[in-house]
Chains A and B, each alone.
Chain A
């Protein structure tokens, strides 16, 4: 139990940048480039932490608080989501709502920090962020309802791990598959990946997340980037629970399976980003509505 918790916390704190490195490597590999080293995101964070900060005259305390608040919220979210078949360190009945709302707290501060600069680019990014969140929040809620209905539990720890605990034949595979596709779209949208956003460019016209943090620099930017990596990691762990699982084994085996699955998610994201173009901004809502509908259909299939 204690080892589980330590493992969870260590992975949550240390692994997220590696996942970014894996995605970058996958993309490089698919496009025939050599690509940056796997540990490049860590080097970047280290470099940024040592740098100075440029603050805009326009900003207030919110600008500086934003990245830190966002990081704290995603870390708390990460403590609530069980990684694979192992239990999450924090759990209580109804923690599913806390997960959604604590992520909303992060969004609140990221958007305000963006508006704090008075730049229209960052205003644009904040507007898109809060707009698309309205759609993705419905999708997440409906997706989680599938598992709530299936497991009869309101705690992430039990409901998310319910697929692992049941025999494959008893699983509502159709519902889970529909919800999994929906949740994968949400994963891409919430973490600013292609086809919704492009983390690699700084072209403001189609961007969401990158454009909100244009004015952050030095350690603040390090916090932003690290927070974004943790968020991707948490969403990937959440998404994995919708994929029909490998049955539970020993604790060590569970962790191995989880890491392998996360590697799979990283590769999948890399594939998607290499094979698809970014959508036009006006088409993003359509994609997110599709995600909500998929999760909704998944839930309706549970109602028989």
Chain B
């Protein structure tokens, strides 16, 4: 029953773009049908989750043979799957609604239908990934996800930036598939079947287990964007249509995290170093991601790098849980995995909120450059208010949702310093200061993003003539912002789901469903945060009453200067100048431009760019070098038949010698 609903919902989602294909390019009926189908699919999915949570006693599953030579059509839904399925359904439908305003068929005749077809396919593929219980099915869904994502990123196929990012993504996605194929092959060696996600009987210290784990981290890490595997991510999220960026960033990355969560759960006691590796990787990913985010001048690239940071935070939590499982500390699992899963849910609320807001700004101004904007809060008050909520939430500020999940991960890390009886794992606690620095940098990045984009004076005509987005673009943002507030004040609403997921992840440690609320003072904190929210509202209301009574409205004080212009404002680049200088060894900025010398200098210009160090400084030059070497080897292919016969002969001799020897 539950699985039938899921299968039906997947099919509906997959086919949601098809009716549009049969209609005229000018017709906008297709897009409404697509939204209707996606929303129906999401409601059915939520129905299945709700039924499973409320009534079912055993995990749901369905297994049918199929005509392929390998594997079966095996799917199942457990609590971990539900944690990941919820954001897929939620963002797929909200994003589709947003798309009605952002990418209407009427203005995008060339590619609107393609976008909606791939949107549905991507939704269905991600649903299938979460429920697949067979490696072949999983890989098929994974590949569909990769291809649909590629077409979505390069929706504007006449834009070089979009197509280039699309190609880089496609390569990364296929390296990921390659690694996953290797991993599933090794899994098959270990278990003798393609059935997925059971606890393996083999020892976790064997070479086989290590291989499975490393290949899994590599394959899923490429999707999730662990540094330095994040290379495809900034360009793709910056160049894709904004609601696609929201979907990919808020939910797509979580698919990689889902993989890591499931792979690491496959051994009763994993080695400690796996968890340590994940914590270190997570700390590096969050710090690296936010350092690059803070430097960006393109607000969508900034948001993309900030996703890298958030995935790093999630990874720290998972790593902590793996260590906890290795050394038998259920509290670490509870806080680490609980925090990580909650952060995935939170990230799927505030990141789409921010990308939708970014989409509104891009739509209204036509530029992605922070330096060109400013002051648009006056012209786009709703978008500005909602973006303020999203920015505060993503910085982990109380009383919003980001705080709760980061709080849990901090507590878990602190516990490493407090609990161990001769465990010698206190060093893990040092991830907490790293997280604190990442948090402070995130605050700098988002003060820059929000302050430079929405506040101050317009820096260009684009910004001065911005206009507010329509109700279809604003309404989904309201829903997401509401979610951020509710999860911040009442995390208890999702605790049950998280606890079930944790119990599923390590069934041996949690024979009974654990209780996060019993271990941690979540209720008391919710009360205090509620008080904080009430005090903030009351205070701001009091300050608001000042205006009519005794306010004088005048220009900003300009140091007595009579003709201030908007160009005299601090810019986004200067705002983070001290930080980008401090981290220049990592950022490796590309500066160009003239020095201004003398009393009456010529007109001069200067620019500074922050290319991705791994991609633009390492990978692409490296690949060009490979291409050059391959070019050098071209004479081997001389078109002369005699030469090829010689090669065959040499190969034969070599084979003979090895066979005899």
Contact = CB atoms under 8 A, between A and B. Distances in A.
Contacts of A141: 432-433, 436
A138 B433 contact: yes
B227 interface: no
Nearest to B400: A105
B443 A130 contact: yes
Contacts of A223: 543
Contacts of B577: 127
A130 B440 contact: yes
Given A58-B456, A120-B569, A137-B440, 15 more contacts: A57-B553, A58-B455, A60-B377, A62-B455, A72-B535, A101-B406, A115-B455, A118-B457, A118-B556, A126-B575, A134-B440, A138-B440, A141-B436, A153-B418, A218-B546
A121 B456 CA distance: 12
Given A127-B578, A134-B437, A134-B440, A52 B569 contact: no
A214 interface: yes
Contacts of A117: 456, 556
A158 to B, nearest CB: 11
Contacts of B418: 148-149, 152-154
Interface stretch (A38-46, A89-97, A231-239): A89-97
A285 B582 contact: yes
Interface string B536-564: 10011011101100111111111100000
Contacts of B558: 119
Interface stretch (B113-121, B203-211, B520-528): B520-528
B546 A54 contact: no
B447 A108 contact: yes
A126 B437 contact: no
Given A68-B543, A127-B575, A154-B414, A104 B447 contact: no
13 contacts: A55-B552, A60-B455, A64-B544, A67-B543, A69-B540, A97-B406, A104-B440, A126-B570, A131-B444, A138-B437, A142-B433, A145-B432, A148-B417
Interface stretch (B177-185, B246-254, B390-398): B390-398
Contacts of B447: 108, 111-112, 115, 126, 130
Contacts of B546: 53, 64, 218-220
Interface of A: 51-62, 64-65, 67-69, 71-73, 75-76, 90, 92-98, 100-102, 104-105, 107-108, 111-112, 115-124, 126-128, 130-131, 133-134, 137-138, 140-142, 145, 148-149, 152-154, 214-215, 218-220, 223, 285, 292, 296, 303
B550 A120 contact: no
Nearest to B550: A52
B552 A76 contact: no
A97 B407 contact: yes
Nearest to B385: A61
A98 B525 contact: yes
Contact of B525 (A94, A100, A104): A94
Contact of B569 (A61, A105, A123): A123
B146 interface: no
A286 to B, nearest CB: 11
Contacts of B258: none
Nearest to B427: A303
Nearest to B429: A145
A92 B528 CA distance: 10
Contacts of A126: 447, 451, 570, 575
A128 B456 contact: no
B198 interface: no
Nearest to A111: B447
B455 A116 contact: yes
A253 B566 CA distance: 58
A211 B12 CA distance: 58
Given A137-B440, A138-B436, A118 B407 contact: no
B443 A69 contact: no
B191 to A, nearest CB: 40
A9 to B, nearest CB: 14
Given A65-B540, A105-B392, A98 B550 contact: no
B410 A98 contact: no
A107 B440 CA distance: 10
Contacts of B528: 76, 90, 92, 98
B625 interface: no
B574 A127 contact: yes
Contact of B396 (A59, A101, A130, A296): A101
B550 A68 contact: no
Contacts of B388: 62, 112
A215 B550 contact: no
A112 B406 contact: no
Contacts of A152: 418
A94 B410 contact: yes
A148 B414 contact: yes
Nearest to A149: B417
Contacts of B543: 64-65, 67-68, 219-220, 223
B629 to A, nearest CB: 43
Contacts of A60: 377-378, 381, 384, 454-455
Given A98-B528, A115-B456, A145-B429, A55 B557 contact: no
Contact of A68 (B532, B542, B575): B542
